[in-house]
């Protein structure tokens, strides 16, 4: 953003300084919003926990998320939270264990890796498609814009989850990794529509400004104008909407995994863990409650963070 | 207005065909078929079955046959549920899905609009914060987590409500599925209503209404709600699509023999006519509903027509 504006207004140092202070200003406003800050903290904690948690648990207690204990084969394997094999209190399994005796806490943290990974990567796929599509449509305008936006309108009304289910079940991959790749391509390629509309709206209001005219006058190519000058200036709304897209995609991923079309064993996500837990809801409720609630907490925080970012970056939307 | 409706219909029909064609292509491109998962059939038997269902014909004939069937609203025969036509299965399972879907939407509309309006009228009050936090929770908690938790509380602990099964339309069995399904729409509608109302309440015509001495009640009910609910009306289209995917999960959790449950089974079994039949049915219903919503919207808000 700074680069583009510096290019265009080399003589107006004030504009450049204003550009940075906009972000600092937004950051200050975000910090004033307690719920958004709380959301940010939870998201950071959950993300870090998912990345390093399993390693830390291995260091402290000496087992990995997929470690299946070999002792007490005949006893009930699924232990309640904070309970050892003999029914005594212990810190070893704060979320209990699953049917095979694996530690739930470690499983939930590891599941978080996949859930967050799918959420973020699919959002990146949708960003790539949506931003490019919206910017091209908005900048070219006229008939092209008309056709491109009509296509978006049509796609909007499709029952896309139904089509995604057909895609995932028909092309079910033999390897869990293959299924994962299929999953985020499918999710990313159906969730770019709103992003395209937002970026198009931004570009429409930007493209008649002087800096674009100046760029065009100096012979900058259309591609370069779109990617170097217009897209960087749409960054604010794009970040906001991307933050709100991540929880939506994570929810869809969980939904698909719950139905058995998403992440496959031995990989696990919060959705597939919850799905496993539902089988035993009457006897071992903690198998559903912990992955389900961890997921709900994360989505809750991401949504608050996204709302907070929108209020911070878009003063017009601010409700004072 | 007529031009607007005709233009909408002209977009809707090809969209329905596109959805069905995409599904058809996906199914035909995918490796394997209905028989490859089952135990190995003798080649002669497989050949005669393929002939019976027309699977030995070239692709354009199969495509043409499927499409012609759909145009006449005849979706063919299921491979899995032998001897049952797809139409029979849809006719049998649709009332289940429709019952929980419509009840959930009505519940969400009532609760959402009331909660959202009060939140907007008492902006920044404790009520506003609490209801909006609850709404955010409703958006964030997956329905497959909410459903079992409700079952755990109300069926397995308190013994108030039955946990699952379909027992006809007005029955206590519907309470938990409907609650589970409506939670997320309640939340969305409350948020949309609040945002819409906040914007309208600041507008000039509300100030005029107050200035000419209308009671606060009349201002809200006669003037503000009408404008403030526009976002809710335009959300109806996406809500229907959401409702549809929601019912899939809810029917799975509560073991209800609805359309969604059959669709999942069909996808797992590769029951091609049933998959295409259900997708076609859903696409037609959904897009016709969207068409109606668009027309209603254009009727309510004259600005839309002239865009």
What's the pLDDT tens digit per position in B66-88?
Answer: 788 887 877 777 777 777 888 88
Q: Measure B144 CA to nearest chain A CA, in Å.
A: 8
- In chain A, residues with a C-beta closer than 8 Å to the C-beta of B295 are none
Q: Which residues, other chains included, contact B62 with Cβ-Cβ below 8 Å and sequence gap of 6+?
A: B28, B54, B55
Between these two residues, B235 and B112, which has the higher pLDDT value? B112
**Which of A147, A170, A257, A271 has the highest number of chain B CBs within 10 A, making it the mutation to test binding with B?**
A170
Q: Measure A281 CA to nearest chain B CA, in Å.
A: 7
**Which of A115, A161, A166, A306 has the highest number of chain B CBs within 10 A, making it the mutation to test binding with B?**
A166
The residue of chain B with its CA nearest to that of A298 is B140
Using 50, 70 and 90 to split pLDDT, how confident is the model at B275? confident
Provide the pLDDT for residue A318.
Answer: 42
Of B137, B142, B286, the CB nearest to A295: B142
B136 to A161: CB separation less than 8 angstroms, yes or no: no
Q: Can you tell me the distance from the alpha carbon of A220 to that of A214, in angstroms, rounded to the nearest whole number?
A: 9
- In chain B, residues with a C-beta closer than 8 Å to the C-beta of A300 are 136-137, 140-141
State percent of chain B over pLDDT 70: 92
Burial zone of A259 (CB within 10 Å; 0-12 exposed, 13-18 middle, 19+ buried): buried
- Is residue A209 within 8 A of residue A216, CB to CB? The reply is no
Question: CB count, 10 Å around CB of A32?
Answer: 11
Q: Can you tell me the distance from the alpha carbon of B247 to that of B180, in angstroms, rounded to the nearest whole number?
A: 10
Provide the pLDDT for residue A3.
Answer: 45
Of A165, A169, A319, the CB nearest to B198: A319
Of A156, A159, A299, the CB nearest to B282: A159
Q: Is A159 on the interface with B (CB under 8 A)?
A: yes
Q: Can you tell me the distance from the alpha carbon of A210 to that of A166, in angstroms, rounded to the nearest whole number?
A: 48
Q: Please, which residues bridge with residue A97 across strands? A: A103
Name residues of chain A where pLDDT drops below 50. Answer: 1-18, 317-320
Looking at beta carbons, which pairs linking B211-220 to residues 24 or more positions away fall under 8 Å?
B220/B117, B220/B121
Question: CB count, 10 Å around CB of A267?
Answer: 18
Between these two residues, B62 and A16, which has the higher pLDDT value? B62
- For residues B195-208, average pLDDT: 82
Provide the pLDDT for residue B302.
Answer: 66
Structure confidence by residue, pLDDT tens digits, A81-124: 766 666 676 766 777 777 766 777 778 888 888 888 888 888 88
Q: Can you tell me the distance from the alpha carbon of B240 to that of B121, in angstroms, rounded to the nearest whole number?
A: 28
Read out DSSP for A137-149? HHHH-HHHHHHHH
Of the candidates B61, B13, B76, the one whose C-alpha atom is nearest the C-alpha of residue B275 is B76
The residue of chain B with its CA nearest to that of A166 is B267
- For residues B115-123, average pLDDT: 84
Of the candidates A257, A239, A253, A251, the one whose C-alpha atom is nearest the C-alpha of residue A300 is A251
| A142 backbone φψ class: left, alpha, beta (φ>0; ψ -120 to 50) | left
Phi, psi (rounded to 5 degrees) for A68? -110, 115
User: ∠ CA A308-A311-A313 to the nearest 5 degrees?
Assistant: 105
Q: Please, which residues bridge with residue A103 across strands? A: A97
- In chain A, residues with a C-beta closer than 8 Å to the C-beta of B19 are 158-159, 163
Burial B202-217 (b: 16+ CB within 10 A, else e): eeeebeebeeeeeeee
Q: Can you tell me the distance from the alpha carbon of B290 to that of B126, in angstroms, rounded to the nearest whole number?
A: 37
Burial zone of B244 (CB within 10 Å; 0-12 exposed, 13-18 middle, 19+ buried): buried
Q: Can you tell me the distance from the alpha carbon of B197 to that of B220, in angstroms, rounded to the nearest whole number?
A: 9
Backbone CA torsion sign across A289, A290, A296, A297: positive
- In chain A, residues with a C-beta closer than 8 Å to the C-beta of B142 are 251, 254-255, 258, 271, 274, 292, 295-296, 299
Between these two residues, B171 and A293, which has the higher pLDDT value? A293
Computed over its alpha carbons, how large is the radius of gyration of chain B?
A: 24
Burial B222-234 (b: 16+ CB within 10 A, else e): ebbbebbbbbbeb
Query: What number of C-beta contacts closer than 8 Å exist between A and B?
Result: 132
Q: Is A97 on the interface with B (CB under 8 A)?
A: no
- For residues B159-178, average pLDDT: 74
- For residues B91-101, average pLDDT: 85
Quick one: chain B helix, strand, coil %, rounded to 5?
Answer: 75, 0, 20
Using 50, 70 and 90 to split pLDDT, how confident is the model at B36? low
The residue of chain B with its CA nearest to that of A290 is B145
Of A163, A258, A271, the CB nearest to B19: A163
B279 to A166: CB separation less than 8 angstroms, yes or no: yes
Provide the pLDDT for residue A73.
Answer: 54
Give the three-class secondary structure for A229: helix
Give the DSSP H or E segment for A292.
helix A286-313
Q: Can you tell me the distance from the alpha carbon of A71 to that of A85, in angstroms, rounded to the nearest whole number?
A: 9
Of B22, B30, B145, the CB nearest to A288: B145
Q: Measure B75 CA to nearest chain A CA, in Å.
A: 17
B142 to A251: CB separation less than 8 angstroms, yes or no: yes
Structure confidence by residue, pLDDT tens digits, B219-242: 787 778 877 787 787 777 777 777
Mean pLDDT of chain B: 80
Provide the pLDDT for residue A4.
Answer: 46
- The first and second tokens of residue A313, run together, are 């970056």
Provide the pLDDT for residue B227.
Answer: 77
- The first and second tokens of residue A81, run together, are 């939270």
A303 to B140: CB separation less than 8 angstroms, yes or no: yes
Provide the pLDDT for residue B39.
Answer: 63
* Complex ipTM: 0.77
Q: Which residues, other chains included, contact B185 with Cβ-Cβ below 8 Å and sequence gap of 6+?
A: B104, B105, B108, B109, B112, B239, B242, B243
- The first and second tokens of residue B165, run together, are 């099964």
- The first and second tokens of residue A279, run together, are 């089988």
Give me the helix-helix angle, B126-140 and B86-121, nearest 10°: 160
A159 to B19: CB separation less than 8 angstroms, yes or no: yes
Of the candidates A162, A270, A212, A273, the one whose C-alpha atom is nearest the C-alpha of residue A9 is A212
Using 50, 70 and 90 to split pLDDT, how confident is the model at B188? confident
| CA A197 and chain centroid, separation | 19
Residue B250, CA distances (Å) to A48, A169, B148, B253, B257 in order:
33, 20, 10, 5, 11
A169 to B19: CB separation less than 8 angstroms, yes or no: no
Q: Measure A101 CA to nearest chain B CA, in Å.
A: 22
Q: Measure A84 CA to nearest chain B CA, in Å.
A: 24
- For residues B202-209, average pLDDT: 81
Q: Is A282 on the interface with B (CB under 8 A)?
A: yes
- In chain B, residues with a C-beta closer than 8 Å to the C-beta of A167 are 26
B241 to A159: CB separation less than 8 angstroms, yes or no: yes
| CA B12 and chain centroid, separation | 17
Place of tokens 């991959």: A173
The residue of chain B with its CA nearest to that of A292 is B145
Q: Measure B137 CA to nearest chain A CA, in Å.
A: 6
Q: Can you tell me the distance from the alpha carbon of B230 to that of B227, in angstroms, rounded to the nearest whole number?
A: 6
Q: Can you tell me the distance from the alpha carbon of B94 to that of B88, in angstroms, rounded to the nearest whole number?
A: 10
């Amino acid at each position: 953003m700074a680069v583009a504006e510096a290019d265009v207004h080399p003589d107006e140092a004030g504009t450049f300084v204003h550009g940075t202070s906009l972000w600092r200003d937004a950051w200050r406003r975000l910090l004033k919003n307690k719920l958004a800050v709380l959301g940010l903290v939870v998201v950071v904690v959950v993300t870090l926990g998912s990345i390093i948690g399993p390693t830390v648990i291995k260091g402290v207690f000496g087992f990995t998320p997929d470690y299946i204990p070999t002792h007490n084969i005949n006893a009930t394997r699924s232990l309640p939270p904070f309970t050892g094999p003999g029914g005594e209190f212990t810190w070893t399994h704060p979320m209990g264990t699953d049917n095979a005796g694996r530690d739930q806490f470690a499983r939930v943290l590891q599941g978080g890796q996949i859930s967050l990974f799918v959420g973020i990567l699919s959002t990146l796929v949708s960003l790539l498609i949506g931003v490019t599509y919206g910017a091209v449509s908005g900048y070219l305008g006229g008939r092209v814009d008309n056709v491109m936006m009509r296509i978006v309108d049509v796609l909007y009304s499709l029952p896309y989850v139904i089509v995604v289910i057909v895609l995932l079940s028909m092309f079910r991959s033999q390897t869990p990794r293959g299924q994962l790749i299929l999953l985020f391509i499918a999710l990313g390629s159906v969730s770019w529509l709103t992003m395209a509309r937002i970026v198009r709206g931004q570009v429409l209001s930007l493209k008649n400004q002087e800096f674009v005219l100046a760029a065009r006058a100096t012979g900058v190519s259309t591609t370069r104008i779109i990617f170097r000058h217009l897209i960087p200036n749409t960054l604010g709304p794009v970040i906001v909407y991307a933050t709100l897209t991540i929880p939506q995609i994570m929810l869809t991923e969980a939904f698909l995994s719950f139905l058995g079309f998403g992440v496959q064993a031995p990989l696990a996500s919060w959705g597939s863990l919850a799905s496993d837990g539902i089988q035993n809801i009457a006897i071992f409720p903690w198998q559903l409650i912990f992955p389900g609630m961890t997921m709900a907490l994360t989505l809750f925080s991401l949504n608050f963070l996204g709302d907070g970012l929108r209020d911070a970056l878009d003063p017009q939307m601010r409700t004072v | 207005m007529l031009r607007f409706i005709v233009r909408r219909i002209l977009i809707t029909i090809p969209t329905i065909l596109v959805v069905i064609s995409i599904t058809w292509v996906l199914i035909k491109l995918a490796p394997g078929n209905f028989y490859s998962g089952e135990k190995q059939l003798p080649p002669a038997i497989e050949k005669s079955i393929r002939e019976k269902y027309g699977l030995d014909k070239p692709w354009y004939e199969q495509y043409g046959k499927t499409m012609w069937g759909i145009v006449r609203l005849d979706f063919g025969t299921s491979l899995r549920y032998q001897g049952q036509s797809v139409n029979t299965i849809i006719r049998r399972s649709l009332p289940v899905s429709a019952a929980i879907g419509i009840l959930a939407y009505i519940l969400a509309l009532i609760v959402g609009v009331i909660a959202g309006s009060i939140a907007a009228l008492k902006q920044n009050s404790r009520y506003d914060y609490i209801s909006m936090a609850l709404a955010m929770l409703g958006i964030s908690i997956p329905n497959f987590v909410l459903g079992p938790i409700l079952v755990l509380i109300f069926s397995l602990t308190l013994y108030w409500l039955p946990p699952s099964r379909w027992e006809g339309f007005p029955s206590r069995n519907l309470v938990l599925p409907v609650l589970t399904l409506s939670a997320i729409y309640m939340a969305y509608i409350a948020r949309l209503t609040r945002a819409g109302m906040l914007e309208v309440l600041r507008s000039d015509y509300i100030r005029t209404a107050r200035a000419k001495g209308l009671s606060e009640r009349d201002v809200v009910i006669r003037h503000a709600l009408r404008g403030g609910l526009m976002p809710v009306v335009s959300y109806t289209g996406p809500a229907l699509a959401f409702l549809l995917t929601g019912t899939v999960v809810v029917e799975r959790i509560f073991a209800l023999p609805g359309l969604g449950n059959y669709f999942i089974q069909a996808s797992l079994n590769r029951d091609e006519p049933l998959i295409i039949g259900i997708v076609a049915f859903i696409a037609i219903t959904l897009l016709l509903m969207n068409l109606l919503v668009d027309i209603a919207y254009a009727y309510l808000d004259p600005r839309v027509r002239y865009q």
